[in-house]
Structure 1
Amino acid sequence: MEQLKDTRKDIRSLTLEQLRDYFVAQGEKAFRGNQIYEWLWKKGAHSFDDMTNLSKSTREFLDGHFVINHIRVDDMQRSSDGTIKNAVKLHDGLTVESVMIPTATRTTACVSSQVGCSLNCEFCATARLKRMRNLNPDEIYDQVVAIDQQSRSYYNRPLSNIVFMGMGEPLMNYNNVLKSIDKITGDDGLGMSPKRITVSTSGVPKMMMKLADDQPKFNLALSLHSAINEKRVKIMPFNEQFPLEDIKEALKYWYDITGTRVTYEYIVWKGFNDQMEDVQALVEFCKVIPCKVNIIEYNSIDDARFEQASKEAIDMYEHELEKNRITVNIRRSRGKDIDAACGQLANKSS
């Protein structure tokens, strides 16, 4: 027997004004919309039954006409270093992954913005997945709420930072990512500081410039990995469409408009970008605008072409960057034993 399609509307696709207008049209008071909106975005309600200050008849009415397409943490793995990886089941059965990274002073959520990815970075496990679709704002928001709850449960403290460095290219899901950040930072949502949010891009110049025009309060990071165009194309083939010269222009535009520095994420591989010429190219690239550099440990995705560079190569990068007064941080990987580290998210659990 064929199953009937659920025709109920996704209630979180409505704005506050639309919710208020809807209830006025039903002969109710407009404030009813405010109550429901607060349950949805401030309290993260999973169902209409959670909305305890509404009458039973109102909750039944809502359940008959609307649906809350809430995510479900389908599988949770905890690393020996405390990192948690969530396999997040979406309402349509697709899966993405998110990660909670705790340190002594903070808890960071690494969230996904697409199912799969639009780009084709050779060193990233997510790139092997076909991009199925963009995530909706509420699906991104739900990942943050779930990790905040885990942080409070395991570490007795709230989530402090968010990075859009999970599955997908955030600037290829531009509108939904910005809407999710509005809900995460808004007084009518989670109320987190935008200064504690970083959106990471592989480098889409047109969208970087659009982002600058929108003057966001959050931070921008660029996954660079090579400041030599010919080399970057080998590991990030889309770089042919978006060459470093175009990215430089977008970065200048970003800084002119926003006045905020950018973080460059940079992996050093053995035999690929571990020579002095690579370091010198990065130093020159860093002169484009004020910036800082995160040197990231490579995390294996079972591809023999890529191998972590030697300690000497990392030290060379650190020395040369510091010599040129460029802020550099060496980032050690977290969650490697559960494939939760940078570049490893690939739905192995699904």
Structure 2
Amino acid sequence: MTENKPNKKKDIRALTKEQLRDFFVEQGDKAFRGNQVYEWLWGKGAHSFEGMTNLSKATRTLLETHFVINHIRVDQMQRSADGTIKNAVRLHDGLVVESVLIPTATRTTACVSSQVGCSLNCKFCATARLKRMRNLNPDEIYDQVVAIDNESRLYHNHPLSNIVFMGMGEPLMNYNNVTKAIAMITSPEGLGMSPKRITVSTSGVPKMIKKMADDAVRFQLAVSLHSAIDEVRTKIMPFNENFPLADLKESLQYWYAKTQSRITYEYVVWKGINDKKKDIDALVKFCMYVPCKVNLIEYNPIDDGEFQQASSESVTNYINALEKRNIVVNVRRSRGKDIDAACGQLANKT
């Protein structure tokens, strides 16, 4: 006869407020106790049951018996010469992801991760060289934002202004957990941020872009495009073979028809890869399909020399061609390069 192993404690933040209320009723307590615990977990960011000071000792012991709080820990914080902060975030199972605070004169932006590693295989991205180990839970995504909000208040004297899902991982391959995290970030019971200040950046998963539109999400959409020519895009982003540009275009048109929300294309120009006139013409044509703006992003090398930043003349050619067709274009200079915190550099070197 084998001895039964004790049940593993549940992660309490996987429970809804209603489930917490039900738990207390089942224990012979009042339902409102669930409301109190929920506020401690999300509104006050409690790391332990012991810290829930308006609960009785018996109630805290009850929670300790049944649940755990799988809170993240910032293992290492690096500060760049330009004010950017990179956090190495330790998860409850020992895995590590990275998140970044990007300050400007008027705002602070959190760049958060959605997966440990990445599901996709973009050749120019250091994160893509890590195998995808697992998806992040909603509370782990939320905790990254809370940590950066605290750092924003401490080092820049104001709360976090914006959030971009441009850290490690493909957010649309962890759609349910990402949207649950955003729901709590935007909830008055969480951080109360406006969804318009949140951008989810995808490499382009057409089926999931359509699902977002059907779900009537209120956050912004960005697409990591980098080429509007299938042959070129497949070389640098091999998954494009399964999600070709025709399918991506259709999904973006569907998104706009449903949401009336303009799309942002993230676009790096590389020497000898996508810096020719045909590349520019293809992007301009792609931009005609749906209202959009283009962010031309400075490339951040990942040590192997295969990809090199294009000349300033090539970038200027892109700007001129886009502006000629009245397409909004911005040039984004990289932040935090000296601590490997810039776009495409998150690779857990720590």
Q: Specify if TM > 0.5.
A: yes
Aligned to 1:136: 137
Which stretch has the larger CA shift, 311-320 or 292-301? 311-320
What whole-Å deviation, never above 9, does each CA across 1:231-278 have from its counterpart, x for those lacking one?
000000000000000000000100111111100000000111111111
CA deviations 1:170-227 (Å, max 9, x no partner) are: 0000100000000000122111000000000000000110111001110000000000
Whole-Å Cα distance in 2 between the matches of residues 50 and 146 of structure 1?
18
Q: 1:26 to 1:251 in 2, by over 3 A?
A: same
Report the counterpart of residue 278 of structure 1 in structure 2: 279
Partner AA of 2:150 in structure 1: Q
Residue 332 (str. 1) matches residue 343 (str. 2): no
Per the TM alignment, residue 305 of structure 1 is displaced from its structure 2 partner at its CA by 1.1
Question: Deviation of residue 62 (structure 1)?
Answer: 1.1
Please report how far the alpha carbon of residue 7 of structure 1 lies from its aligned counterpart in structure 2 after TM superposition: 1.7
Summarize the alignment of residues 63-142 of structure 1 with structure 2, pairs less than 5 Å apart.
63-142=64-143
* Amino acid in structure 2 at the alignment position of 1:274: D
Give the letter for the 1:28 counterpart: D
- Residue in 1 that maps onto 2:201: 200
Equivalent residue letter for 1:227: A
Matches within 5 A, 1:251-290: 251-290=252-291
Q: Does residue 167 of structure 2 align to residue 173 of structure 1?
A: no
CA distance in 2, matches of 1:286, 1:103: 28
Q: How far apart, CA to CA, are the structure 2 residues paired with 1:6 and 1:88? A: 28
Residue 339 of structure 1 aligns with an amino acid whose one-letter code is: D
Distance in 2, matches of 1:84 and 1:300, equals: 19
Distance 2:7 2:46 in 1: 20
The residue number in structure 1 matching 2:33 is 32
| 2:244 pairs with 1:246 | no
| TM superposition shift of 1:316 | 0.8
The answer for the alignment partner of 1:19 in structure 2 is 20
SS of 2:75's equivalent in the other structure is strand
C-alpha displacement at 1:303, in angstroms? Answer: 2.0
Q: Which runs of 5+ in 1 are unaligned?
A: none
Q: Does 2:42 correspond to 1:41? A: yes
- For the aligned residues, what is the CA RMSD? 0.9
Q: Distance in 1 between matches of 2:12 and 2:141?
A: 16
The SS at the match of 2:50 is: helix
Alignment-derived partner of residue 156 in structure 2:
155
Q: What is the aligned residue count?
A: 346
Partner Cα distance (1:118, 1:182) in 2? 23
Alignment of 1:43-62 (within 5 A): 43-62=44-63
Identity %: 75
In the TM superposition, what whole-angstrom CA distance separates every residue of 1:100-131 from its partner, at most 9, and x where no partner exists?
A: 00000000000000000000000000000000
Distance 2:197 2:50 in 1: 33
What is the CA–CA distance in structure 1 between the aligned matches of 2:313 and 2:6, rounded to whole Å?
60
Distance 2:308 2:234 in 1: 18
| 1:330 partner SS | strand
Residue 6 of structure 1, CA deviation = 7.6
SS at match of 2:247: helix
* TM-score, length basis structure 2: 0.98
Which position in structure 2 is the counterpart of 1:222?
A: 223
Distance 1:272 1:200 in 2: 22
Distance 1:50 1:102 in 2: 32
1:25-63 Cα shifts (integer Å, max 9, x gaps): 111110000000011111111111221111122112211
Q: Which amino acid aligns with 1:11?
A: I
* Rounded Cα–Cα distance in structure 1 between residues aligned with 2:10 and 2:324: 58
Match of 1:49, SS state, is: coil
TM-score, with length taken from structure 1:
0.98
- Give the corresponding residue for 1:323: 324
Secondary structure at the aligned position of 1:48 is classed as coil
Determine the C-alpha separation between the residues in 2 that align with 1:248 and 1:94.
36
CA distance in 1, matches of 2:177, 2:60: 28
Q: Which amino acid aligns with 1:333?
A: S
Moved over 4 A (4+): none
2:195, 2:127 → 1: CA distance? 26
CA distance in 2 between partners of 1:70 and 1:251 (Å): 36
Q: State how far apart, in whole Å, the 2-side matches of 1:82 and 1:55 are.
A: 43
The aligned amino acid for 2:112 is V
Displacement of 1:5: 7.9
Query: Which amino acid in structure 2 is aligned with residue 264 of structure 1?
Result: Y
For 1:5 and 1:44, the matched residues in 2 are separated by 28
Amino acid at match of 2:313: E
Aligned equivalents of 1:32, 1:43: Cα separation in 2: 15
SS at match of 2:47: coil
Q: Deviations over 1:73-104 (max 9, x none)?
A: 00110000000000000000000000000000
- Secondary structure of the residue that 2:132 maps to in structure 1? coil
